[in-house]
Copies of this chain bind each other. A is one copy, B any other.
Amino acid sequence: MRLEILPVLGIGDVTEGDDLAELIGNAAPWLRDGDVLVVTSKIVSKAEGRLVDVPADGPERVAARDEVLAAETARVVATRGATRIVQTHHGFVMAAAGIDASNVAKTQLVLLPRDPDASARALRTALRERYDVDVAVVVSDTMGRPWRNGLTDVALGVAGMAALRDHRGEVDPYGNELSLTQMAVVDELAGAAELVKGKCDQVPVAVVRGYLGAQRDGDGAGAATLVRDAALDLFSLGTAEATAAGLRAAATLTDRPGATPPDPAAVARAITAVAEAVAPGTTFTLVTDEEVRARLVATLPDWPAGATALVLGAPAGPAHPANLIRFGADLHRLRAALAAESVPSVLLPPPAGSTAGAVLAL
């Protein structure tokens, strides 16, 4: 097996209403069945009229661009300075929702195609019907990524082949099962095509020949299958945004006893974490003796059944209001530290007659 990657030259400038199948069919009469046609999303967007008029410069341009970005954004993932990483309505996580101001007039912005999988399918169908050639089509765009400098081209849409190549269940020559390997081959195809497109000015289309062979399939589920559900993603939010979410969670902790007794090591870590922050002399006692616990719980009418007790003692001294306020703040510090260890808690009023301490139900 060998691959060739061929630029499609002579496509020229694409404008709204252009017929991409005709432009490509005429520029590449040498297209063959089984070729993978990789098309830069920008010319798809332009042909589909996904352009917005904006002022060429000044604060009006910034304001207009912000408005366009908001409309293209399903969810803000991370921001820093002027950078906005967002999840688009398609599910892609991209800087500025993939809105682009390059290779377009200064008074226009290019949006991503509305449905890149549909764009790929339509182009594939048109090429088959009008040029009698059965190709796969990848609609590509350039994206950054966490942890690594530099951008790469990846797929926004695909038709005529599966986005992923699945090695799961295969066994290597040593008998180890390849349990986790699904390769995002359409992203690799998009990147391979960029190697040719990026080095030729004005080459928005390239062909990968030799990859598909007999493995062609129908339109499949498209590049939409590449979108990972945010709930399954370990990096669904930027670090700063998630840290702020943690601070907000601390601000709004609810009273909730744990479903199971807490790990004493986790409680100990939480106590250690706040030791320097609380008033000197504050004491922390995780009640493990069942008899002591039963006696304590008997004084607390609202005790959640089955909860573990953590007793906090205020520093010795007169119960001055300022000291009690500080003690209350320190209690909440500990509750936040416990929450960081995934230990929920309930703050109970101190036992009747006591002014020197408080009890958390864990």
Contact = CB atoms under 8 A, between A and B. Distances in A.
Given A164-B150, A319-B321, A234 B83 contact: yes
A101 to B, nearest CB: 6
Given A188-B153, A192-B188, A225-B149, A165 B333 contact: no
Given A234-B80, A247-B337, A319-B321, A146 B149 contact: no
Contacts of A201: 173
A150 B180 CA distance: 9
Nearest to A202: B173
Nearest to A192: B192
A234 B188 contact: no
30 contacts: A3-B3, A3-B192, A3-B196, A78-B235, A102-B178, A106-B176, A142-B181, A142-B183, A146-B146, A146-B228, A147-B227, A150-B185, A152-B188, A153-B188, A167-B198, A183-B198, A185-B198, A188-B194, A189-B195, A243-B246, A243-B249, A247-B337, A248-B337, A248-B340, A251-B270, A252-B333, A321-B324, A322-B349, A328-B332, A329-B335
Contact of A146 (B191, B199, B235): B235
A195 B167 CA distance: 13
Interface string A225-261: 1111000011111111111111111111110000000
A268 interface: no
A250 B252 contact: no
Interface residues of A, number: 118
This protein's copies in its complex: 2
Interface of A: 1-7, 13, 78, 80, 83, 85, 87, 92-93, 101-106, 142, 145-154, 163-165, 167, 172-176, 178, 181-185, 187-189, 191-192, 194-196, 198-202, 208, 211, 225-228, 233-254, 270, 273-274, 276-277, 319, 321-322, 324-337, 339-341, 347, 349-350, 355, 358
Enumerate the 6 nearest inter-chain pairs by beta-carbon distance, A residue then B residue, closest first: A246-B246, A328-B328, A150-B184, A250-B250, A242-B242, A192-B192
